[in-house]
Structure 1
């Protein structure tokens, strides 16, 4: 029998989010756990992709999670060209400011005209830094938000490579970049990719096998990035030790080859 908290979380999703009247208990718990991971600082951001719900519906849903007592911090909803992100602003700003002062952004160029992925040249760094600075300016004013509150903001970003900026916000160890002046395709088709999946159990809601992160790294650039990936994994394990909502962290790797990769 579902616990009282489980029923509350299912009710919150079905009552506030669009097209969720038939949402399963498993999906409702997964969604709540992913947002809890942001709230407790295990990751800085969650890209909402469960339903076609709008900003106001997601806002009311988050407030219901706060009313239930599942989340306790301030969360910010950022609408970027109809892509909705739920952000722990303090953690996101801290990470983005680190990137802003780094000359090595660990970016992989997957432009369609390349025969295979390669590390982004240093010539691109100043422009990408400028976009990071713009993103920080958009979200930093919300850093002073009160606990157990939700703020909302939107931004138009015609010059941003959203794949890259979302990779930064989600704190992936490596982000993809491609030349948007050429086209929006990539060279990852049938390219061997190392798939990283991070999972944990959510003890806070007695829910098993929550996916915390999932990202790929082309095998052709894996070796030069291996030390950075190990550092990222170690930092994640440290953040994991600093919270008590998730247990049994597992980082799983596999190799996949796909006919097409959407970014």
Structure 2
């Protein structure tokens, strides 16, 4: 693969509207690695929010990656109220199905009215929205053609933070009261931030790609230990089944921030 071609693809297709701002080459290669991680089955989706690019620009970018020699499996571009996600269709559907079957569901309530985060006792409202999203993706699959398909979903009343967290493959996902305008109780709360990386010499020698980054309140880590362990085991299995990445590693650190935006 030609790293300069991969960088040019991102700059020309995704950042052409960014004016004088120039996408750093390192970030362009990182993005390419994240796309490859989705295609390789290491994560169900990635959320693209680096620029003002929408679904059409992302599809053109993916076409350029294929021209450069990066020919991943079929992918799906999902527009969701201004957000753009790139999905591995089969893996994304399986992830939604897993969460819908899970008892208890892996949701952490961080509503602003709470003193501390807590696991959700009931997540029926969220699950109904996940079921609607799953139905949308199944319908999109029936009419999909070509290497990259796309669709737009209208998320009426959905908690987009929770929906995106599920699609991104996080082992546990934040949720909060929709009446609180996204406010939460995480300010100065110790959070354990997990980071998963792997090397991708196929794109560039020495390139470390961040495959996952998510946080869990330190106070909930013990309760979620089995969920985290199962998630890590599944990721290691997926890693063993692909050949684009090597040297999978996970690290974590505890941070406390004056404000946490989701």
User: Structures share a fold, TM > 0.5?
Assistant: yes
Structure 2 residue aligned with 1:135, among 120, 133, 136?
A: 133
Q: Corresponding residue for 1:26?
A: 26
Q: Corresponding residue for 2:237?
A: 238
Q: Corresponding residue for 1:55?
A: 55
How many residues align structurally? 257
Q: Deviation digits for residues 78-104 of structure 1, max 9, x if unmatched?
A: 111101000011110011112222232
Show structure 2 runs of 5+ residues with no match: none
Q: Corresponding residue for 1:16?
A: 13
Give 1:243 shift: 0.6
CA distance in 1, matches of 2:3, 2:119: 44
> Is the aligned partner of 1:163 residue 2:157?
no
> Is the aligned partner of 1:86 residue 2:86?
yes
How do 1:34-73 and structure 2 match up within 5 A?
34-73=34-73
Show structure 1 runs of 5+ residues with no match: none
Q: Corresponding residue for 2:258?
A: 259
CA distance in 1, matches of 2:252, 2:197: 11
- Equivalent residue of 1:203, what SS? coil
Q: Which stretch of the first structure deviates more once superposed, 18-27 or 72-81?
A: 18-27
> Is the aligned partner of 1:217 residue 2:223?
no
- Equivalent residue of 2:178, what SS? coil
CA distance in 2, matches of 1:120, 1:140: 27
If the length of structure 2 is used for normalisation, what is the TM-score?
Answer: 0.93
- Equivalent residue of 2:61, what SS? helix
CA contact (8 A) 2:99 2:106 kept: no
Give 1:51 shift: 1.4
CA distance in 2, matches of 1:98, 1:38: 18
Give 1:197 shift: 0.5
Give 1:61 shift: 0.6
Q: Which stretch of the first structure deviates more once superposed, 19-28 or 194-203?
A: 19-28
Root-mean-square deviation (Å): 1.6
Give 1:183 shift: 3.5
CA distance in 2, matches of 1:223, 1:15: 46
Give 1:110 shift: 0.0
